[in-house]
Homo-oligomer: A and B are copies of this chain.
């Protein structure tokens, strides 16, 4: 069931009241899985008060230490961001985001929607772990959506998308995009290979790694393709490692 497979991930939410409001927003649209990465304060009475009848969502919420624990097993990871970044993520609007999440979870695969802290939004290094970015259309002069409002709008689009009849396609598991953990393993291999050739020395090291992550993250390689990329990486490595 798609709703069960879509998790809402909040990174470092500062105000417990917002966590409660997010839980309520989720439940009104049938979403149930909340993951909190380093919440400043949780559990909390403020969260429970704002959750109203959605306390069960808070009780089932998973609290983790880092984003990778929250999304490691997901092939589709969508980052919520108030503004388009300069680098070319695949950008979805809220409606497309709902449709994509419902489509890709139809076969029971987990997917994640990730939101950053209230004041700052997602950091670039967190957005780098996302294959897509969702942008909610807003007033250009005032795009300051409350965290719970952003979650509410996207959950609403998920709920609407789920109402459309979907015939899940038969997908060959070998054709599925690799998981986030598998991608991290590849980035690590590639980084070591480039290091072995002295290619990543100097100031541009971090920028180059980030560029490569974005490029390969965007292509969402399946298992066979990822294997091929590992082979190319071994060809780069000085010792064939």
Contacts and interface: CB of A to CB of B under 8 A. Distances in A.
B149 A28 contact: yes
A1 interface: no
Interface of A is mostly: helix
Interface in A167-220: 172, 175, 194, 197, 199, 208, 211-212, 214-216, 218-220
Contact of A236 (B29, B86, B232): B232
A139 B159 CA distance: 8
Contact of A153 (B144, B153, B163): B153
Nearest to A21: B146
Contacts of A199: 231, 235
A53 interface: yes
Given A29-B139, A212-B228, A228-B215, A53 B148 contact: no
6 contacts: A24-B144, A28-B143, A29-B138, A52-B144, A146-B148, A153-B153
